[in-house]
Amino acid sequence: MKQILYFFTIGLLATACSKPVANFLIEEDKVQIAESVSFVNSSQGAETFVWSINGDVQSNEKDFKNTFYESGRHTIGLKAIKGSDISEKTSDVFITAPQECKVFIKTNFGNLILGLYEETPIHLNNFVDLVENGFYDGIKFHRIMDGFMIQGGDVKTRDKSFNGTYQSEIHAEINSHAYHVRGALAAARMPDEINPDKKSSGTQFYIVDGRNIDIDNLRDTESSKLIDYSEEQIAQYLENGGAPQLDGEYTVFGYLIEGYDVLDKISGVETDEKNKPLEEVIILEAKMLY
């Protein structure tokens, strides 16, 4: 009996004196910007954890997942803590720049990531200039139509004045390869009666929410607008929906990459009879992802 008690006591001492050892695995150590990276904790003997990125504390969960919005090297730190004992490990993750222009838009409803088409260089360069100069920071989505689109970019919706320059109109770049499937990013414009050249607004844009589309809708659009949709375009419309009635009328210059759940939230905001949201939908920050 004494021998059993002796070994039990030794076991307790060994456990109480063991120190934590921090360790973790990076599931992907080289990814593109705006992609998520998972960090799997394999530490031993710890009671609590502290994760950091470049020295800034991020989480106290056991495992950690993060989406990076800046390219380059990022140092991931993990502290494994037990009482007053702390063990720390750091490792680097490399985030590569995107092959295409991507824009990060933070709203009070969540984040959107947009891709810009190189086939519409006027709109691409104009949008990039506006984003880099901070034009959209503080701008509101002022027109929302559930099942159709959300629209923002009106300088009058800013709470603070904008000291930079911007164009009121830019030339249209209507492209048969870019269409109004759900998630399409397009430029708003004035109606044909006063804008026969279909020039785009220099600042206002919309993202298509859209409705369900069937093959008869598309055939009617093809007939009325003399459009010949490709098999891929038809498949996209049938699977995702959209607003084909706008094809050939407005310049589509990008698309929604991430944030369809946020698009749904914004589209569902209650509006008045003029489609103005009764709850403010604000762009808190817009920046290029390099």
The answer to whether residue 5 sits within a structural domain is no
Supply the CATH number for residue 253's domain: 2.40.100.10
The pLDDT value given to residue 2: 47
The answer to whether residue 48 sits within a structural domain is yes
Considering the domain architecture, whether residues 161 and 260 belong to the same structural domain is answered as: yes
The answer to whether residue 130 sits within a structural domain is yes
Residue 119 corresponds to which tokens in the numbers above? Answer: 């086939």
Q: Are strands 200-201 and 141-145 parallel, antiparallel or unpaired?
A: unpaired
Considering the domain architecture, whether residues 134 and 230 belong to the same structural domain is answered as: yes
Cβ(155)–Cβ(166) below 8 Å: yes
Considering the domain architecture, whether residues 110 and 177 belong to the same structural domain is answered as: yes
The answer to whether residue 8 sits within a structural domain is no
Strand partners for 170: 200
Q: pTM for this one?
A: 0.80
Q: Is 102 helix (H, G, I), strand (E, B) or coil?
A: strand
Which of these three, 55, 80, 96, is where a domain ends?
Answer: 96
Averages of pLDDT over each 10 residues, the chain, 290 residues = 46 59 86 88 95 95 91 93 94 85 97 96 97 96 98 92 91 94 98 97 98 93 92 95 96 97 98 97 95
Structural domain containing residue 62: 15-96
Cβ(76)–Cβ(90) below 8 Å: yes
The pLDDT value given to residue 84: 92
Residue in the structure block whose two tokens are 């009671």: 47
The pLDDT value given to residue 18: 78
With vertex at residue 114, the alpha carbon angle to CA 112 and CA 118, rounded to the nearest 5 degrees, is: 175
Domain count of the fold of the chain: 2
Supply the CATH number for residue 33's domain: 2.60.40.10
β strands within the chain, DSSP E: 24-26, 30-32, 36-41, 48-53, 56-59, 64-67, 72-82, 85-96, 102-107, 110-116, 141-145, 149-152, 169-170, 184-187, 200-201, 205-208, 252-258, 283-288
The pLDDT value given to residue 274: 96
Considering the domain architecture, whether residues 52 and 180 belong to the same structural domain is answered as: no
Pure H helices in 119-275: 121-132, 215-225, 231-240, 260-267
The answer to whether residue 6 sits within a structural domain is no
The pLDDT value given to residue 29: 63
Considering the domain architecture, whether residues 21 and 39 belong to the same structural domain is answered as: yes
The pLDDT value given to residue 12: 43
Residue 244 is given by DSSP the state G
Q: What is the distance between the alpha carbons of residues 85 and 113, in angstroms, rounded to a whole number?
A: 41
The pLDDT value given to residue 17: 58
Q: What is the distance between the alpha carbons of residues 211 and 54, in angstroms, rounded to a whole number?
A: 44
Considering the domain architecture, whether residues 249 and 141 belong to the same structural domain is answered as: yes
Of 113, 119, 129, the residue nearest 32 (C-alpha): 113
The pLDDT value given to residue 100: 83
The answer to whether residue 67 sits within a structural domain is yes
The pLDDT value given to residue 277: 98
Considering the domain architecture, whether residues 157 and 251 belong to the same structural domain is answered as: yes
Q: Are strands 85-96 and 30-32 parallel, antiparallel or unpaired?
A: parallel
Return left, alpha or beta for 27; rule: phi > 0 is left, psi -120 to 50 is alpha, else beta. Answer: alpha
Which of these three, 96, 126, 156, is where a domain ends?
Answer: 96
Which of these three, 96, 120, 153, is where a domain ends?
Answer: 96
The pLDDT value given to residue 124: 97
Residue 108 corresponds to which tokens in the numbers above? Answer: 């009070």
Instruction: Give the CA distances from residue 185 to residues 90, 122, 243, in Å, rounded to whole numbers and listed in that order.
Output: 40, 14, 12
Q: What is the distance between the alpha carbons of residues 251 and 188, in angstroms, rounded to a whole number?
A: 8
Considering the domain architecture, whether residues 279 and 150 belong to the same structural domain is answered as: yes
The answer to whether residue 7 sits within a structural domain is no
Considering the domain architecture, whether residues 161 and 281 belong to the same structural domain is answered as: yes
Considering the domain architecture, whether residues 145 and 225 belong to the same structural domain is answered as: yes
The answer to whether residue 211 sits within a structural domain is yes
Considering the domain architecture, whether residues 161 and 265 belong to the same structural domain is answered as: yes
Fill in the amino acid letter for 254: G
Considering the domain architecture, whether residues 54 and 198 belong to the same structural domain is answered as: no
Cβ(209)–Cβ(269) below 8 Å: no
